[in-house]
Homo-oligomer: A and B are copies of this chain.
Amino acid sequence: MKTSLDCVPCFARQALEAARMVSADVTIHEQILREVLRWSSEMDMDQSPPAMGQRIHRRLREITGVRDPYRAAKDLQNQIALDVVRDLEARVKAASDRLAIGVSLAIAGNVIDLGVTGTLTLSEIQESVSRALEEPFTGDLEALRAALAKAKRILYLADNAGEIVFDRLLIEQLLPAQVAVVVRGAPVINDATMEDARTVGLPEIAEVIDNGSDAPGTILEDCSLDFKRRFTEAGLIIAKGQGNFETLSDERRPIFFLFKVKCPVVASHVGLPVGTPVLASAPRRA
């Protein structure tokens, strides 16, 4: 997905919110805002939106000298999600269609995203879960079920801390031995890294690797050679979150995207309202 003109005001707003979240120093807020405005004025609109997010958060870490400014937020999100999910495990085990409920909850967990709104509360997570258990997501679950039955190697591209606890629920319903979970290669916003995967016990149920990149999405040319090889060889890719959708939606690979629609630009791209839980597939399978 290319960057829309409508993404640009949002870059400025998100840069300002991020600066305020990682520093109390107003000169830093102004500095990053002015830099983002200058970059945006010259930006290549053929890039996907997360390329700008990567640049903003890299620069914020550089200016503040803090390697992982969202570490405390991520720890809290993992903890809250572990508490919420504990009560859901029995429900998933007892469900008549475990894949359906697993997908629903994995999408529900995508509400844990500090990139778009900046804040999140426990009650918002609980509300997202309640809604997921009542309202169906939009998308072709049977196509995913069929693809899962055939695929030997499955890549599961994770998105955010906290959210990965919900992903674990879904991965347990797949054949975990065939799944490699992919986290970001370095901290960016509250996206999940290897540290988060370990915190929530993902390595105990599946292989976990990182993609070698600090983009809040999957910008292939920025990823490690090892990740790119696995991406090409995978029989099925499950990609979580809007950032992975924005960066991979034009790839001709067998990808299923699981996310909540979080902004008007993506809403118009997928033809669904903001807030919709979506299971979308890539334009054409490789």
A residues apposed to B, CB below 8 Å? 5-6, 8-10, 12-13, 16, 26, 29-30, 33-35, 37-38, 40-42, 45
Contact = CB atoms under 8 A, between A and B. Distances in A.
B6 A9 contact: no
A6 B34 CA distance: 12
A8 B12 CA distance: 7
Q: How many copies does the complex hold?
A: 2
The A interface, classified by DSSP as helix, strand, loop or mixed, is: helix
11 contacts: A5-B26, A8-B37, A9-B10, A9-B12, A9-B13, A34-B40, A34-B41, A34-B42, A37-B37, A38-B38, A38-B41
A239 to B, nearest CB: 28
Given A8-B12, A9-B9, A37-B41, 13 more contacts: A5-B16, A5-B26, A5-B30, A5-B33, A8-B16, A8-B37, A9-B10, A12-B12, A34-B42, A35-B41, A37-B38, A37-B40, A38-B41
A91 B26 CA distance: 51
